[in-house]
Structure 1
Amino acid sequence: MEQIVLSVEYNGRRLNVWREDAHGYNRFFVTPLCVLDTSSIKCVHDKYSRENQNVFSFYVQLWDQEAAKTVQLALEEKEIEVKASDIIPLPMQMVHVNRDDIISEITVDGRWRSYQGQPNGLLFELGVNRKTFCEDMVSDAKADPESFLARTKLHFEFTMFVGEQSFRNLNITGSTVLKSKFFAELVNDYSNKNGIVYLQSDDVNKLARDIYRSLAVQDYVTDDYIPTRHEAQIVNELLNEIKGQQILSTQLSSEDWDSVFWNDLFSRPDIQTEYFNNVISYDDGTKHFKYDETKDKIFRGKLEDRFAKESFKSRSGGGGFSFNGFGLNAQGGKQDGKKDNKEFINETETQNTNIVSKDELESFIDYNNAHVKWTGTKFEAKGLNLHRINTKAMQTSSEIFYKRVVTTKLATTQELPIQAEPKYSTAYNNAIDPIYFEVLQKAINKTNEKLEELSNQIIKNARNLKALESRHFSLEENVNKNVNAMEKLKSKQKAINGYFCQGTVFRNGTKYTKITYLHKPEEAIIKCDFDNNL
């Protein structure tokens, strides 16, 4: 856990909050509440005890959801988002109730109890000699819990791991790996002139474990023991350091195959492929395979000569495949624990037949985990993922892997006073926790800011509205002026179109056009006729 990140007031006391970053997310640990549950207090008769048959029984509340919500709210005020379920009491290991005064009628059971289940409340008991005194204690505790706790001096104690003390430095070097028997076998029997050996994933894992265990056995006397939980992690990290380059078995040359580690020589895909192609022939007409026992013996003889008799015996697994009787022979290492070979015999053939169908052969291959496949014309090796390990480089390395491992932890004992419930506490007076006032005040401040923002917006909108009204009045005035002007134009046009007459007059021999404007329509005929006669 880190240092205290927050201190929250809750029910008249301070709760300290610690943060722990684990497994990709945050958890928060909080001081236990340690509140006396007055409703649970009672005096009972303990018929199983010879010494203190009267027991003062009570619950101590260590945690509740209100505390979690209060801490959650305080963290949110610090802009730390967390679920209430990730806020829990301190990781206490062992707990008990104790008191300072040991010379009295009250007997405290000082035995430690496990807190691994992390219940919200725990039941505790005090031994009392006299029943009447036990009943008086119940009355006092219910009537005035605060004074009762002050007089009895009860407090809650717990242990927890606060630090890690002992360390072990693991430094795996070239000289370290030479202590591994499996590594020595790889170097002596399988590595080529360049120190290269090829391993499957399971064998790389086996090598990592063997190197680690060789180291652990060597240093067991002088160093602290490393727990199993660390061992798996160390082996996995060591495996990543030594696993080397990954390569497909199909990329290996015939010489490279001699550097591939196999528990059973006949398990090598290249040898299996060569064996199948030598001792089995395919009849395209009958669609059946024929096993040749003579070729089988010849192949085994050549294989024994090729790998030398001593090496062959130690690496062959005792005979490998045999199709005589259609199945592994009795010496084959993979035969143990399997079903009877008779399950693979064609019911229409005898046990000594050397001819099998394609389905039977494929069943045989699958059953024995053979690393070959039939392509339709020949047998080919199945592709396997291998790891190229450089044993020479490992032997000469000054540091292959280094890790500092914590082997022991420090435990500490903490003490907390047992508190009275808030409703009984004179120092508390049923006040609301300050964090809620802070949140409320923050909400009020935000509301006031919002109201002020809205007020300013309203004032701005009012000003804009007033400006729009002024512009509206100006536009209306202009419209009225334009309307009046239009009316005048219409009137004038009307006068021109409806109240005049046109005549022609001659004066001094010259022709003139005369237009007479009329004020009344009824004058038009008289006036116009009169004027036209002028």
Structure 2
Amino acid sequence: MLNVFNTSMALIALIQVVYFAREGHCEEAEAMRLEAEAMRLAADPNEDVAGFFDMEMGKDRSLKPFYYHGGYLSIYEGRNEKLKRYYVTPLTEINAESAKCLEPGIDIRHKVRFDIAIWRSDVADEAVKALASPPLNLEVHKELVHPLPILKIRLSTHGLSPAYEPDTVWKSNLNQRQLHTFSIYAADKEACERMVSEIKADPVGFASLIQIEIAMSAEKRASREISITGENIGRSKLFAQLQNMDQTNGERLMTSSDLNNFAQEIVSSVVASDITTGAYVEKPDELNFARLLERQLSSGTINARELSADQWKSVFWQEEFIRPDHYTKYLNRAVTYDKGTNKFSFDNETESEARKHVASDLKKDSSSTNAWSAKAKASFLGFGGSASGGSSNTNTDSSHDKNEFDVDDKGRITMSHDQLNKFLSKRDLQVEWSGDVFVSKSLDLHRVNTAELRKKSKIDTQQIQVQIVPITVKLDATVASSTDELGTVGQDHVKILIDQAKNEMNETMNQLSQKINNTENNVDRLVTKLQGRDAHHDD
């Protein structure tokens, strides 16, 4: 509401400037111009801080840095001369205890979520103290110290393991929040929980991999033509996996889900390399582009039930052991069906033999002879993996399943048809019981010719809307220093404070010495003047 009022007043002031200028009242016009400028700056904090970061010239326009909870913050002076305000860079302080691993839900992947503090009221207190200290010696009220008016904020990382991918979507900060929650996607549950443990055990080490990117200026939209080429596709991680499959011909078969992931990976990679720093493409636009690209990547479909044994070798599956052709062989050998009771049963011995048989097939089909072992070494009940390539099947799941099944004295497990279907559906395993044997579900697979795609100079071109952020700055993440012990960071800070105190003391002494010299010179001039008067009086 205050901004609207200030904007209105600024417009009125500008009208008055025009009036006075026409009437020839230059002094009044200049005074009203300054008043209008002050109103405009008060209306928009972003205007008040314009020019703080001159990245092209490499200049830092900050007044003074000051130490706060394990890191340094910078103070900037607002442009409004009539209402002088001061702005402080964001905290970017990681709350290690807030880190948690979230199971797939609306998001299809595991992710690590954690909070980062952007501002606290006591930051203003420390800024006031810093402004009051030499050499500035400014008396500033706390109410005039504000956080930088950030419009958008997002996470940036460097040096992360390939098992992790940061969520780099820009978050709006129009309400100037004091805390933001960020996420990093993990390849699986194990990687997710491992990162949470590492964040809590070594928050400083984790902070060294994290930066917070802030945007301080309003965005602009521009249309850009983005082209996908064979070279772009060749840089995709998923493309490398397709290339490394044992089949010598270029054709690969992929599920719709994997094709979608493939297209998204390509688009994200191209956007990241083609779009300049300070600009971005919104996620819905990327997804739309990926959906259009899928049509260019796929040269047709074939139903999984129509595949020959040799064609199955061209099917890309994140976990080979549960690829439908392998898993149906496993089930048909491990599980016995009793028509009389309409129940399925198996024991450890038959399950073990079935697993060995599938393992043998995998060794023949794949150059990665150990690729099956991690997935196939455990039993059918809950340890076979999932169709999406995740590792959500845990011992807890297995124990829960066993409790639902009938187990006799010899350890033979029996389950009904409904129990079996529930088990297969829970793990999204693409197999089913036909009435006689286990078969692959009816599943359309997309034909993707990697050899042909790699040769193409242009596969797809789209006009895409790019959001351009004129000013972005990356700030290193920090961790609040402990007050209970003086670690390396604390020791370094003490040394810095001592050096600062020495410098400030030396500066004060120099100023005092200069004042003494000036006073002595003034006294000498006064004595000389008085002596001259006395001599003149004697004459």
TM-score band, normalised by shorter chain: 0.3 to 0.5
Larger Rg belongs to: 1
Could you state the TM-score of these two structures normalised by the residue count of structure 1? 0.44
